[in-house]
Amino acid sequence: MKVILLEDVKSVGRKDEIVEVNDAYARNVLFRRNAAVEATGKNMNDLKLRRANNEKVAAENLAAAEELKQKIEKSRIVLKVKVGENGKLFGSISNAQIADAMKEQLGIEVDKKKITCNPIKSVGSMTAAIRLHTKVSADLPVEVESL
């Protein structure tokens, strides 16, 4: 029997795949767990529409990430911190502080886990990489100034 999987099923297939399984396995396991539906004409058409919708949403997310990348790369953030002798910071600037400064100065909210940069321990200019999408990342200039 051909079925369309509604979720990933171990050793059978992944979500939205059309697979051939034993009739008893389909009726007794997959259908009861709502893990699959029979591959009828209506269900095949629904799958086709769902795939088209998913592709459209993915394209919109990619376009939004590209637009955000352009905005981030045109701007910069300035962090004012206490410094000791020779322009060295007390501690270092974390990704959370960069994320807070982005929200405050640029109005862009980014998860701190998506920001990668070397530890900033001195006054000057640095660059922080921000992962916006699986295919898109932006470089944000960070200026560190003393108080």
Mean pLDDT, contiguous 10-residue spans, the chain (147 residues): 96 95 96 96 96 96 95 93 85 92 94 92 92 94 91
* 144, two tokens: 């560190």
Q: What predicted TM-score, i.e. pTM, was given to this entire model?
A: 0.74
Question: What's the pLDDT at 63?
Answer: 96
CA distances from 100 to 77, 114, 137 (A): 10, 13, 19
**68-146 shares the fold of 2-63:** no
Question: What's the pLDDT at 53?
Answer: 97
> In a 10 Å sphere around its CB, with 0-12 CB exposed, 13-18 middle and 19+ buried, how is residue 65 labelled?
middle
Which sequence spans correspond to the domains of the chain?
2-63, 68-146
CATH number for the domain formed by residue range(s) 2-63: 3.40.5.10
CA atoms within 13 A on the CB side of 43: 13
**CATH classification of 68-146 is 3.50.50.60, yes or no?**
no
- Share in percent of the chain as helix, strand, coil (round to 5): 40, 30, 25
